[in-house]
């Protein structure tokens, strides 16, 4: 259970860092740049802890799948990014793939 919390912490830190990357305006704004550096450092620290238990392919699939959805949600809420039907369907397919991998694959750790 602790490993999954580490992965969740890594994903949340990565989403915060990526959102701040947009706000840094090409590394020209110091405040968001500091958030980027700290956020990615925290994300990779917790991802490294996660990889002690969860196979790298599984962890990365979850990291990237959930990260795509959360960063898109953040972009929609914070930056007003518009989503069309193909974008929503595509994200649903990504999430579906991660679910299939975790539910049916013997690769995933349960």
Q: What is the pLDDT along the chain (110 residues), one digit of tens a residue?
A: 899 999 999 999 999 999 999 899 999 999 999 999 999 999 999 999 999 999 898 898 899 889 999 999 899 999 899 989 999 999 899 889 888 887 887 776 55
Q: Can you give the pTM of this predicted structure? A: 0.85
Letter string b/e over residues 44-74, b meaning 16 or more CB atoms within 10 A of that residue's CB: eebbebbbeebeeebbebbbebbbbbbbbeb
Specify the DSSP class assigned to residue 106. Answer: S
The whole-angstrom distance between residue 96's C-alpha and the CA centroid of its chain comes to: 15
| Phi, psi of 37, deg, nearest 5 | -65, -45
Alpha-helix residue ranges (DSSP H) falling in 1-110: 2-23, 30-50, 56-79, 85-104
């Amino acid at each position: 259970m602790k490993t999954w919390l580490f992965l969740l912490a890594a994903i949340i830190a990565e989403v915060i860092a990526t959102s701040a990357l947009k706000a840094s305006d090409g590394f020209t704004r110091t405040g968001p740049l500091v958030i980027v550096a700290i956020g990615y450092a925290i994300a990779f620290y917790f991802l490294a802890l996660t990889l002690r238990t969860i196979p790298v392919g599984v962890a990365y699939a979850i990291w990237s799948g959930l990260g795509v959805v959360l960063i898109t949600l953040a972009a929609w809420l914070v930056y007003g990014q518009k989503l069309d039907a193909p974008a929503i369907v595509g994200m649903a397919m990504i999430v579906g793939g991660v679910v299939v991998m975790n539910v049916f694959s013997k690769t995933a750790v349960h």
